[in-house]
Structure 1
Amino acid sequence: MSLISDAGSVVSKVTGAGDDTGDRTFDDANRDLSLDERAALIDLYLRVRRETESLTDPLTAEDMQLQSMPDASPSKWHLAHTSWFFETFILRDMLSGYRVFDRDFHPIFNSYYNSLGQPFPRPNRGLLSRPTIEQVFSYRAHVDRHIERWLTEEDINTAQAELLELGIHHEQQHQELLLTDIKHAFSLNPALPAYREDLDDAGENEDGDTPLQWLQVPEDHYTLGSDGESFSFDNERPSHQRFQPAFRIASRLITNGEFLEFLRDGGYREPRLWLSDGWSQIQQSGKQGIQSAPLYWREIDGEWFQFTLAGLQPLDLNAPVCHVSFYEADAYASWAGQRLPTEFEWEIAAWLHCKSDALDDANLLENRHFQPVAEYESGGRDLQLLGNLWQWTSSAYSPYPGYRASSDAVGEYNGKFMCNQMVLRGGSCVTPRSHIRISYRNFFYPHQAWQFTGIRLAGDVQ
């Protein structure tokens, strides 16, 4: 049974075809782009760049300087690094007569491309008060003007267009990071400031959580990964067949109320529920010597609250629990007598159950909730597989059979991180709609929880 062949019509919808990046497919590296294709790329590029800048509208220059931990980066750095990507990989080599904006920017805004020189240390990005935010916006405008000139004046083939498309999706990744990083920074402020107080409130589900059900998936040979018909990162390829034993997967994400039961039952105090590294991590990370609740949860006078991008709010017991690490997700699954799905089980379930209009009701960046919502509020469609929260899987981040990173600097994009990280699937409430797709493989270290990450359970079929 091949889901790829059955899902051809689904792919174009799930990747956002017809309205954004998902409809850009270039099948011939030797063909020059038409004028219409160039115009579409200019429009797409500028729309994504404007979206990034709009996310900084609520922020002051002081806000955009903050770096709250080594895993995070200042908003100012995200704005500049994405521009550095376009300048470094496209303009410097492909636009005749191009002059870099400022040569001193190269090491500062190089993230991890060691083949291009020594990057400035990531943990110290918040120490750089210069360049100023005004200079960074000037840098963005400079790069934008020259990308437009490149698309207008130069002969551009489909391989070069694909590199621009990669840069556009790279910028969308940093839109998500910008929001998660500023949320973490604001959470450390005793005043608990809101990023925005006018966020679109989905409202609390007063009807109670939807009962969790189990979906049975039969054993079979399934084709997984990207088929190359629309944009994908290299770590999603090549598509390949895999025999999958029968399994079952939960019909929705685990809620705050369900996780609160785990907490009240002593889940954070029972070492038998935890992987050894996870137990060590929670012993060291809590403010009182041991972690006792998810990141951003606060108990005040016996009531639970959660810090959000709209400030401190009462904990919605029916919304999915978020900002949990892999270790917390795995411990909860053990407490519940279940397990986390593998990334292959998750993808098979998504191909089987996501409808062609799966993204229409998904809680993604464009909804402007910036917070996961209860299944009732999200329409309860497609099992919350896309949007709302990145979902931890039990799969280590490793290459697919036949994967080879390219030999140039762009080859450092994904492959070099295939060690000691876990795969997440599905996107979140701060993932751009045109950026997510079923085959997308996100990855984080198992202790990290500042991203919008949640829990879906799975189990074996006896």
Structure 2
Amino acid sequence: MPETVRQEDRRELASAYARIRRLSEQLCQPLQPEDMSLQACADVSPPRWHLAHTTWFFETFLLVPHLPGYQPVNPAYEVLFNSYYNGIGEQYPRPQRHLLSRPTQQEVMHWRHHVDHAMGQLIVSRPDLDALITLGLNHEQQHQELLLTDLKYSLSFNPLAPAISQPLTSDGEPAPPLTFQDFTGGKIQHGANADEPFTFDNEGPQHPVWLSPFRLANRPISNGEYRDFINDGGYRRPELWLSDGWAWVQQHHIQRPLYWQADLLNHWTLAGLQAISPGQILAHVNYYEADAYARWAGCRLPTEQEWEHAARQSKQPGSFVENGRYQAGQASAGLLCHMLGDVWEWTASAYLPYPGFRSAQGAVGEYNGKFMCNQMVLRGGSCVSSQNHIRPSYRNFFYPHHRWQFSGIRLAEDG
């Protein structure tokens, strides 16, 4: 029986590896060769770089140290596709990734398939590496999401409004009424459960926290509701904004969410330029905008502890990358809708370590811990996340001014 179980584990991991690696390539199928090197700003990366970097991860952390006789396909790739791992060595400058016309797309794909073949041998022979392989697969799923968010930003500068997905079907109706669910609070256990199949290190250790009574909105804010905020002078009223947020608005002359047109009637999507549906869930606002909207609405943003406590009771997930639409869906009526999927939801919590957190030893320990400074936590996943990648304890994090991610707003109130 133990041997049978081990063989079944090998097959399941090999199947997951093949499926996840294949999806990265499928996401690029609608793209033209010219799209593969687009990088509109230093915060985003070209699609070809994402395909290469995820391959670099498996080669660097698994194949080179653990598969006897394996040699890197090209030693120069160690620098070209190292993102931020100082323990590995030098990195090619992030703002210049669009200059890497070589290796070509064909060469990157050959490298991917070479690494995949070698990883097949490792999966069969080294069950002691399952945890590290699973980390690599979750890392690839993160980059699948980044590939689409980055690509959306880069394509948005093209006046031809190229489309790589199908448009959202909308009836033009507003979102259903916003309601709030009461939570009594008290002592809870916060963070990832020990029985989760996989979690990132920043999701634990699980620890007790005390919650005061609070109320959480049944759904995220819609486009129509945010347009009301704009029409009420939301971007012109300094009393609604944090000091840094107001400085950001003034410095960059911000008047609306990213991708919205000046008429507030149309927005850029991966399906091209589309009419703004008032009932669609709002996306692409940053922490400053989310906080200002919440203050305008007489509410606040939830803490990540409140959000996670509520999400464990939610049974109505939203849209994920599997539907191929790459847009947040129409807001639904019901109890705690869309907490997983559609948009990452800003919380009022700074990205900090949980009590007892320790980074792993070695370069792989740089994955999350070193970023626990000056960023805010988002929860819930988005319409370009894989559904099996997201869970209530998952912690995303971005700087307060970032808004190219599919990020939105869920309101909270004191109980």
- Normalised TM-score (structure 2): 0.96
How far off is 1:441 after superposition?
0.3
**Where does residue 39 of structure 2 map in the other structure?**
67
**Where does residue 194 of structure 2 map in the other structure?**
228
How far off is 1:155 after superposition?
3.6
The one-letter amino acid paired with 1:244 is L
Out of 340, 348, 366, the position equivalent to 2:309 is 348
Contact 1:32/1:156 (<8 A) preserved: no
Q: 1:322-333 alignment to 2 at 5 Å?
A: 322-333=283-294
Contact 2:58/2:136 (<8 A) preserved: yes
SS of the equivalent of 2:169 reads coil
How far off is 1:382 after superposition?
4.0
How far off is 1:249 after superposition?
0.8
CA distance in 2, matches of 1:268, 1:178: 30
**Where does residue 148 of structure 2 map in the other structure?**
179
**Where does residue 242 of structure 2 map in the other structure?**
275
Out of 125, 135, 151, the position equivalent to 1:166 is 135
Classify 1:132/1:383 alpha carbon distance in 2 versus 1 (closer, same or farther; 3 Å): same
**Where does residue 34 of structure 1 map in the other structure?**
6
CA distance in 1, matches of 2:334, 2:67: 48
SS of the equivalent of 1:62 reads helix
CA distance in 1, matches of 2:171, 2:330: 6
Classify 1:206/1:60 alpha carbon distance in 2 versus 1 (closer, same or farther; 3 Å): closer
Contact 2:218/2:335 (<8 A) preserved: no
- Normalised TM-score (structure 1): 0.87
Number of paired residues?
413
Moved over 3 A (4+): 205-208, 379-382
SS of the equivalent of 1:101 reads coil
**Where does residue 299 of structure 1 map in the other structure?**
262
The runs of 5 or more residues in structure 2 that have no matched partner are: none
Per-residue CA distance 1:279-331 (angstroms, 9 max, x = gap): 1112222xxxx11000000034xx61010000000000111111001000001
Out of 365, 378, 387, the position equivalent to 2:321 is 365
The one-letter amino acid paired with 2:157 is L
Out of 101, 108, 112, the position equivalent to 2:84 is 112
Per-residue CA distance 1:239-275 (angstroms, 9 max, x = gap): 1110110011111111111111110111101111111
**Where does residue 240 of structure 1 map in the other structure?**
207
Q: Which moved more, 1:116-125 or 1:164-173?
A: 116-125
How far off is 1:219 after superposition?
2.2
The runs of 5 or more residues in structure 1 that have no matched partner are: 1-30
The one-letter amino acid paired with 1:121 is P
Per-residue CA distance 1:156-177 (angstroms, 9 max, x = gap): 32xx101000000000000000
How far off is 1:207 after superposition?
4.5
CA RMSD of aligned residues (A): 1.6
How far off is 1:39 after superposition?
1.3
Contact 1:66/1:185 (<8 A) preserved: yes
SS of the equivalent of 1:116 reads coil
Out of 321, 335, 348, the position equivalent to 1:394 is 348
SS of the equivalent of 1:248 reads strand
**Where does residue 210 of structure 1 map in the other structure?**
176
CA distance in 2, matches of 1:283, 1:145: 53
**Where does residue 194 of structure 1 map in the other structure?**
163
CA distance in 2, matches of 1:248, 1:294: 26
CA distance in 1, matches of 2:352, 2:274: 38
CA distance in 2, matches of 1:237, 1:32: 32
**Where does residue 314 of structure 1 map in the other structure?**
275
The one-letter amino acid paired with 1:296 is Y
SS of the equivalent of 1:241 reads strand
Contact 2:347/2:379 (<8 A) preserved: yes
Contact 2:172/2:277 (<8 A) preserved: no
CA distance in 2, matches of 1:313, 1:294: 15
Classify 1:64/1:380 alpha carbon distance in 2 versus 1 (closer, same or farther; 3 Å): farther
Out of 387, 390, 395, the position equivalent to 1:433 is 387
Contact 2:174/2:224 (<8 A) preserved: no
CA distance in 2, matches of 1:184, 1:119: 23
